[in-house]
Amino acid sequence: MTSFLSTSRHPSIQSSLATRLGIVLLTLAITACGGTDDPAPMPVPSLTATTPVDSATSVPLNATLSASFDLAMEALTGTTFTLKQGTTGVTGTVATSADGKTATFSPSSSLTASSVYTATITTGAKSAEGTRLVAARSWSFTTGVAADTAPPQVSSTTPAAESAGVAINRKVTVSFNEAMDPLTFTSATFTVRQGDTQVPGTVVYGPGTTATFTPGSALASSAILTASVSTDVKDLNGNRLASAFTWSFTTGASAAMGPMPVSLGTAGNYAILAKSGVSTVPASSVTGDIGLGPAAASYLTGFSLVADATNIFASSPQLVGRAYAANYAVPTPSNLTTAVGNMEGAYTDAASRPTPDFLELGTGDIGGRTLAPGLYKWTSTVTLPTNVTISGGANDVWIFQTTGDLTVGAAQRITLSGGAQAKNIFWQVAGRTTMGAGSHFEGVLLCKTDVTLETGATMNGRILSQTQVALQKATVTEPPR
């Protein structure tokens, strides 16, 4: 005869069953609510830059449009990247770059002169991982009266021509004076060679107007390398480089520390670049050029500007360089449009660098510290209430990211040591930047909003502001590139 054990007479068994039942119910509840083992949500793509930019004028009749994204995208099509003149659709060919981050729209025929067009990226556009844009993005521009037939030009390179001691773990970049066709940049059109041997690597165009060659492995040490861009690269309007561009540099024996530097493109041609205004309380001193666009020269205040006979630029007794504004004569407007686009691309690049080496250091108070090369991130205001030292080698790089403001206390200084260079220090600031009276700053400032240098403040670096810059008897000196 089979015997059955009653749980009512054995409390330990009853307790064990209750515990097991509780665990099962808790597991089911966690699963139903999306427990801790659920995968993280996939990132949503964003449109980061367009060519032409929104509200651009005098756009060439043979223009090709481009749209850049922060994530690799599935190939866009004529239904996800559209162009209209009023309510009439424009036919064209849509292509996506090899890395998936740039799409182009090439109209089937020339655009109509002096007309307004609207381009749209629809919510049908998806990232390579399948996530869609949250909302459609549109931008408009007005055409000019002629096609663009001028060939593009190289505006800068890294490393610079004839550079020596270049770190063996760095990339090679080339920037242009205008937007280029990303589909024309390949390992055949942008090469790096050691003697007759081509260095293996990958080529990507963007952000901004910069193409980047990433070596497959560390570069040879103490070697002469030659980079070259062929005439098969084209601008967005179909114009080829007039002649192949070649430059050489010599590597050192060691690798650099810190992240890859941020490419400034043609924004790096300016000591100060802003979109809505640059003001001075005389007498300030700026060594380097000032650029302002899309705002006009009337928003360059306090400089006592004197226009050149060509009206391409102006001079000022407070400026060791030239001042350029969007309403000056050709080619200044298009040059500034490109530079501002490069500035915005550089800001996006700096802000999107992942996996910081230092997170929330000092909860934003970095006074009194010595900062090693690396990527720093804060989700708060960053303050320098006392002196700060940035210490590292000549090829090392620092990127400082903050979602808040940046404030340097009055009479406080940033000092460089160990060979660190201002051109390799990048401050990405989502809020506003204030440099207190008598303070000293080092580095390239990529600011989403306004920048103020109070009385007697000095700076070795560049100010790239997406709104306005105010100088109060201040000094800004651009570093060598």
Q: Can you tell me the mean pLDDT for 45-59?
A: 89
The distance from CA 155 to its chain's CA centroid, rounded to whole angstroms, is 17
Q: How many CA atoms lie within 13 A of 18 on its CB side?
A: 8
In this predicted structure, what is the pLDDT of residue 396?
97
Structure tokens at 72: 């690799």
What are 76-90's pLDDT values in tens digits?
999 999 999 999 999
3-class DSSP state for residue 175? strand
Pairing of strands 47-51, 65-69: antiparallel
CB 157 within 8 A of CB 29: no
Q: Tell me what percent of the residues of the chain surpass a pLDDT of 70.
A: 92
CA angle (424 as vertex; 245, 264 as ends), nearest 5: 50
Domains of the chain: 47-143 (2.60.40.1220), 154-255 (2.60.40.1220), 266-477 (no CATH)
Q: Can you tell me the mean pLDDT for 377-396?
A: 97
- In the predicted structure, residue 19 carries a pLDDT above the cut 90: no
Which residue bears the tokens 């020596």?
Answer: 164
> Which helix (H) or strand (E) covers residue 352, if one does?
helix 332-352
CA angle (345 as vertex; 89, 300 as ends), nearest 5: 100
In this predicted structure, what is the pLDDT of residue 7?
39
Q: Please give the backbone phi and psi of residue 108, each rounded to the nearest 5 degrees, phi first.
A: -70, -25
Q: Residue count of the chain, please give it.
A: 481
Spatial separation of the C-alpha atoms in residues 274 and 293, rounded to whole Å: 7
Give the pTM: 0.82
> Which helix (H) or strand (E) covers residue 68, if one does?
strand 65-69
Spatial separation of the C-alpha atoms in residues 371 and 367, rounded to whole Å: 10
Q: Can you tell me the mean pLDDT for 229-256?
A: 97
In this predicted structure, what is the pLDDT of residue 57?
87
Q: How confident is the model at residue 49 (pLDDT cuts 50, 70, 90)?
A: confident
In this predicted structure, what is the pLDDT of residue 37?
56
Distances from the Cα of 456 to the Cα of 65, 283, 285, angstroms: 45, 10, 10
In this predicted structure, what is the pLDDT of residue 41?
81
Beginning with the edge strand found earlier in the chain, give each strand of the sheet holding 56-59 in spatial order: 56-59, 137-143, 116-121, 81-85, 88-89
